[in-house]
Structure 1
């Protein structure tokens, strides 16, 4: 039995439309739990519609009893597929985002599907993943469900990590190297830099050279620790970090970024960048909190 501090937490939506996403998130959570020798905890949030919405929603299938039965079936299937992992589950009041956030206080990693939404009975609201990334107390994996012809979430061929030289991105680099080795994937380290406004005398050549140097310095210690991971360095000039990183990650299966970066526009890993990737990327995104990465 493993300690609760290391448990992997997975949010389960449990609806007909979320089947593929839930399955991908649970499978990824089980894989992470097995390789880290920790437990897997599945959570679902039961949230009744506000009274003024209840007349417009369908709640017959959204009772606490049915919700617990649904989660029990998912746990049973996961236990059969992964008998060597201790798998537990809970239904919390207050919705899926709050359930994952509360459980993440004692976890090593939280996992949520990219298209899970806050729901009141039959009505949909905002993305659960944005709320979890914003409020969770650990690192978060936002899983993009595989297409019918696509690979499962754990079969990443390429892992991309955004780097800006901050302590936050250092943790992201560490997480990315560990994931790349475990998956047998190539790692692409990306730094996005912007040319200052015209007229200030700054030339692109020195800035490009500085970006190249910083990127190699940021990855060098981890290349020594993970010599079997093939690394590609890519410095990209652009004024939109989210778009530039997404473009650089074309063909990748996992993008890793830090939750907080330098705090200036020239830093890549601002909270707005991680939020933008979670909202718009069609790839699985890992958002790493400072000192929260499982190693």
Structure 2
């Protein structure tokens, strides 16, 4: 069975837009779409699991079923040939999506859901899923018409963690017929420009051989703050792609500082690419 693209919906405008984006992603990848609504039981069933005082799993809710039907209907009108299924899960949204990521092609969430606070740039569900899921997680944000034709941006630091990101970024650029911009941010005080350029070209070379039709540009950006430089670069991208942790990753942290910054502050959709549950992606 083909792995589905999984998208979480809660009725918020951001989640409805994320569902459309997920449908486009699934259509490009010839994958089915699974629309998931995780509901929290008012008597104690939620992200933490079943309360010891709850005798059984709660039944699916009518409002959740109606929401899923509306979203699926909208997807069917836009993508009539897309194999689409829905699922209501007796759990919090984040645990439901994290669990389903293990058998998914990718997971898509909106940048903010119904419970999103105005001062937060990404909702708690998106943060949790981006940190803990398997495979690619796309945090969807709307972009301008100009950005839609902009390159796919991928961050490259030379670590093993950037290999899944390169695989996803090149595949998306090829499927969308978009150029790809591979960026390495280098602090010239500790990494000479010539060394940074050599590393970037060496790491990207196998992927340019595999995807000869993708227009690739490599760019070394001199900066001392890597995450700020990548957020700035996302202003001119249709999609920003990063690994979950780079060469500066600290053991115990689920996301590196660059991934976290992009999840919260990027100016375009962001794909945080973890290795799939069965292993990493390689050229």
Match of 1:252 among 237, 244, 253: 237
Q: Quick check: 1:114–1:145 contact (8 Å CA) kept in 2?
A: no
Partner of 1:157: 150
**Separation of aligned partners in 2, 1:83 and 1:131:** 32
Partner of 2:268: 283
**Separation of aligned partners in 1, 2:168 and 2:102:** 19
Match of 2:210 among 207, 210, 225: 225
Match of 1:77 among 74, 78, 90: 74
Rg: which structure is higher?
Answer: 1
Match of 1:144 among 119, 128, 141: 141
- Pairing 1:1-295 to 2, within 5 Å after superposition: 3=1, 6-14=3-11, 18-19=12-13, 21-48=14-41, 64-116=61-113, 118=115, 126-146=123-143, 150-151=144-145, 155-196=148-189, 207-263=192-248, 271-290=256-275, 291=279
Using the TM superposition, give the Cα deviation of residue 35 of structure 1 relative to its aligned residue in structure 2, in angstroms: 2.4
Using the TM superposition, give the Cα deviation of residue 22 of structure 1 relative to its aligned residue in structure 2, in angstroms: 2.7
Q: Which has the higher strand share?
A: 1
Q: Quick check: 1:156–1:254 contact (8 Å CA) kept in 2?
A: no
Using the TM superposition, give the Cα deviation of residue 190 of structure 1 relative to its aligned residue in structure 2, in angstroms: 0.6
**Separation of aligned partners in 1, 2:246 and 2:136:** 15
1:216 match: secondary structure: helix
Which ranges in structure 2 are unaligned for 5 or more consecutive residues? 45-59, 117-121
Deviations 1:271-292 (A, max 9, x none): 2211111011121001111246
2:182 match: secondary structure: strand
2:19 match: secondary structure: helix
1:106 match: secondary structure: coil
Q: Quick check: 2:112–2:123 contact (8 Å CA) kept in 1?
A: no
Q: Quick check: 1:193–1:211 contact (8 Å CA) kept in 2?
A: yes
Q: TM-score, normalization: structure 2?
A: 0.82
Using the TM superposition, give the Cα deviation of residue 12 of structure 1 relative to its aligned residue in structure 2, in angstroms: 0.9
Q: Quick check: 1:163–1:190 contact (8 Å CA) kept in 2?
A: yes
Runs of at least 4 residues of structure 1 off by over 4 A?
A: 48-51, 291-295
1:286 match: secondary structure: strand
1:107 match: secondary structure: coil
Using the TM superposition, give the Cα deviation of residue 48 of structure 1 relative to its aligned residue in structure 2, in angstroms: 4.3
What is the Cα-based RMSD across aligned positions, in Å? 2.8
**Count of residue correspondences:** 258
**Separation of aligned partners in 1, 2:20 and 2:282:** 18
